[in-house]
Structure 1
Amino acid sequence: MIRIGTFTGPSARPRRSPLRRVLTLGLPTAWGATAWGATAITYKLACPLAQQNGLGARIASSAVFFVVGTGLVFHVRRTLLRELRRARTVAGVAQSALLRPPPPRVAGLRVAAAQLSADPDAAIGGDLYEAVGTEHGVRVVMGDARGHGLAAVGTAAAVLGSFREVVHDGTDLADVLRRLERALARHLAGRARDGTAGEEFVTVLLLEIGADGELRALNCGHPWPHRITDTGVEPLARTDPLPPLGLLPLPEKLPVEHHGHLLPGEALLLHTDGAEDARDPRGRFFPFHATVTEATAPRPLCPQVILGRILTALLHHTQGVPTDDVALLMLSSDSAARGAGPATSAASQRGATDHDGAALDQVPT
């Protein structure tokens, strides 16, 4: 649930009590009901036909009252639908401001995003993502707040708002992650004072893609993204991530992991666990890896088309009723300027190393 604070100043609107909001909503309906009721009473008292007891007079009176009742019902329905459309418009604007669509290109990378909320009344849920071009390279965040739907929106907003504020100032990913942890701690402390806090945490994946395509990452409990190459689809890494933010304090040292380079023609697909954990009515998991492999087989890669194929397959698998929020973010490199030069082979570019400098075993799945 998003809470909007009360602002002061010449343009501020005073906060109305729930009773006043109900009265404001019901006033147009009451005026309409009064008008229709006055029409029925006038007919009953002033029309000579209404005073007669014959069969024809009774039929005519029944028809008049049927028309009056029908008109009243349609008036109330029209008024409520108008207020519902207005409320959904306001909610849609607020939700799109929080989880705004990324630009089609960020510093030479093609970017596309898609998301589904498990709450049918919400356009977004607890998933968060953002891709920003900075002087350090393209910095990306993908996260998932505990829970789903509107209950997780506030926590996701705290982390995403902090990322947008510090992404340009953080000297490295470790600095950005520590600032996100402090922002989440402040948010949870405020929830505790309000008596609305529970066991809350957020999984966070931070990526940094340098101008030469070098990949750097920090992962706090989030699924690793998939690297899409000419030879297939494989996880970016297989190392165990750090604990989610808010669950345990971050360790004193946060070594950033290096995972080779993102070469021209390659792409990264980031996702939340709602995509991998989606089940059909028989309890079978969604074949995420196989679906991604099939969706990315046609070349050249088009991020928007690929995400559409994956979401279509996921909705078909769950019969249109996902039980958890789902977010997908795809970054595709189609600029030769992002490569490291023709003298460097793709295999050497993708020779990922962990934070100790040891080579990671990247066996294709």
Structure 2
Amino acid sequence: MIRTWARGGARAGAAWARRAVVFVLPGLWVLGVVTWELFHPTSGQLLQLLAAAPAIACAGTGRRQCVLLGGVCALLALVPFGGAEPGAGPGIRVMTCGAILAVVCASYLTAGRRLRLVRELERTREVAVAAQRVLLRPLPPRIDGVVLAADHLSASEGAVVGGDLYEVVGTRHGVRVVIGDVRGHGLEAIGTVAAMLGSFREVVHDEPELGGVLRRLERSHQRHLYERVRIEQPAGGGAEPVSTLAEEFVTLLLMQVARDGSITALNCGHPWPYRIDCGAAAPVVALAPAEPMPPLGLFPLPEKLTAVRCGRLAPGEGLFLHTDGAVDARDAAGEFFPLTQELHNSVAAAAAPGGPSPSTVVGEVREALLRHAGGRLTDDVALVMLCNDRVQVPARSAGSAIVRLPR
């Protein structure tokens, strides 16, 4: 929260400084022209440069300042600086005043059109951000005893959602998590992301096993590609369209954290997560219990899908999930982002008595990633962390008695 306030204060200070500079610049321009004309008379010819001042003011500060400063410049153009010198007749001063007023009118109209376009662009961005937030909605801070945090970085400038997806849902079977990466990135992959997330949010409550969830996701992916082919490349004569989307695959990692903390997973070509345990000798360990299956869409799923057991998530322990954009990010020298080392540093800095703070860890890794890449990402990045915040209740001994209090 403090970091957010600091960033907001820095942006507000920078915007105020820009407005102050642009507001002072036209005044300095007028002062310089008038001073030069007073001490080095040019028979009013230099006063024609006063027309630039209202244009600068209109472009930088607003239409009111443009009209105000333009009126001042028009009056100054009528003042007979330098006395009665050759060529300093009233005709030149009147023409200079008219030129300044013409610049004021043109700048006023141009600024009005620019202001309308800026407002329309801001409304369009608000609608786009709201629509994208519905697709990749923010996670709640806590689901069924599991503390959550997530963040997403799109490689497309101005986009909130790209080709990465994630969702966490609490069900009667446990807390279920999906994270994936659609082939490609940016806005072109949003359709597949919407299909995957919409299907996951629906079937995750119905299917008792992760294998059933994965098969439903595969069918949704196939239907989505079929509809895309029908729209983009329709076949004539009632024939079926020929698919050219054979390589439109999705890497997916499905995980389930049961109420007792046991973890099961199904992995289709996605990076395995990191297990975080601040009390262990190695607090950050890459979890790789089995070889991943091929990405979803490249090959049919095997007939038998058995979820991989990944141990138990004890109270205070966490899981850090990510897409491959987090490890593929390069700096100016071409070095890959050291995710394991940065995650270790973030976990050590965010350690708390009840375990690391997921929001702090995700925020620290995000900032380190942006610093490493210089703010220029070539692929989308999704980061998700969940931590078991359930209280560990000690088992009652067999000989313990139940004490009933009197009513």
Q: TM-score range by the shorter chain?
A: 0.7 to 0.9
Contact 1:118 1:322 in 2 (8 A): yes
**Superposed, which structure 2 residues align to 1:50-199 within 5 Å?**
54-195=91-232, 198=245, 199=247
Aligned to 1:316: 371
Alpha-carbon shift at residue 291 of structure 1 (Å):
0.6
Aligned to 1:223: 271
Contact 2:289 2:308 in 1 (8 A): no
Which of the residues 378, 385, 391 maps onto 1:330? 385
Contact 1:145 1:201 in 2 (8 A): yes
TM-superposition CA deviations, 1:173-218 (whole Å, max 9, x none): 0000000000010000011112276431111100011110000000
Aligned-residue identity in percent: 52
Contact 1:212 1:340 in 2 (8 A): no
CA distance in 1, matches of 2:390, 2:110: 61
CA distance in 2, matches of 1:71, 1:172: 66
CA distance in 2, matches of 1:113, 1:249: 30
Q: Which has the larger radius of gyration?
A: 2
TM-score by length of 2: 0.69
Alpha-carbon shift at residue 310 of structure 1 (Å):
0.3
CA distance in 1, matches of 2:334, 2:396: 48
Quickly say closer, same or farther: Cα 1:341–1:262, change in 2 above 3 A: farther
Of 320-329 and 188-197, more deviation after overlay is shown by 188-197
Which secondary structure state, in structure 1, belongs to the residue aligned with residue 332 of structure 2? Answer: coil
Quickly say closer, same or farther: Cα 1:277–1:340, change in 2 above 3 A: farther
Contact 2:329 2:378 in 1 (8 A): yes
**Superposed, which structure 2 residues align to 1:264-343 within 5 Å?**
264-298=315-349, 299-300=351-352, 301-337=356-392
Alpha-carbon shift at residue 255 of structure 1 (Å):
1.1
Alpha-carbon shift at residue 334 of structure 1 (Å):
2.2
Alpha-carbon shift at residue 248 of structure 1 (Å):
1.1
How many residues align structurally?
Answer: 291
Which of the residues 241, 245, 255 maps onto 1:207? 255
Alpha-carbon shift at residue 336 of structure 1 (Å):
2.4
Aligned to 1:4: none
CA distance in 1, matches of 2:127, 2:198: 20
TM-superposition CA deviations, 1:252-288 (whole Å, max 9, x none): 1111111110001100001000001111111110000
RMSD, aligned CA = 1.8
Alpha-carbon shift at residue 342 of structure 1 (Å):
10
TM-score by length of 1: 0.77
Structure 1: gaps spanning 5 or more residues: 1-51, 344-365
Alpha-carbon shift at residue 57 of structure 1 (Å):
2.0
**Superposed, which structure 2 residues align to 1:14-33 within 5 Å?**
none
Quickly say closer, same or farther: Cα 1:53–1:184, change in 2 above 3 A: farther
Alpha-carbon shift at residue 235 of structure 1 (Å):
1.7
Alpha-carbon shift at residue 341 of structure 1 (Å):
6.0
TM-superposition CA deviations, 1:139-167 (whole Å, max 9, x none): 11011111111011111110010000101
Residue 321 of structure 2 is aligned to residue 262 of structure 1? no
Larger RCO (alpha carbons 8 Å, 6+ apart): 1
Residue type at the aligned position of 2:249: F
TM-superposition CA deviations, 1:295-337 (whole Å, max 9, x none): 1013211111111110111000001111111111100012224
CA distance in 1, matches of 2:211, 2:325: 26
CA distance in 2, matches of 1:191, 1:340: 55
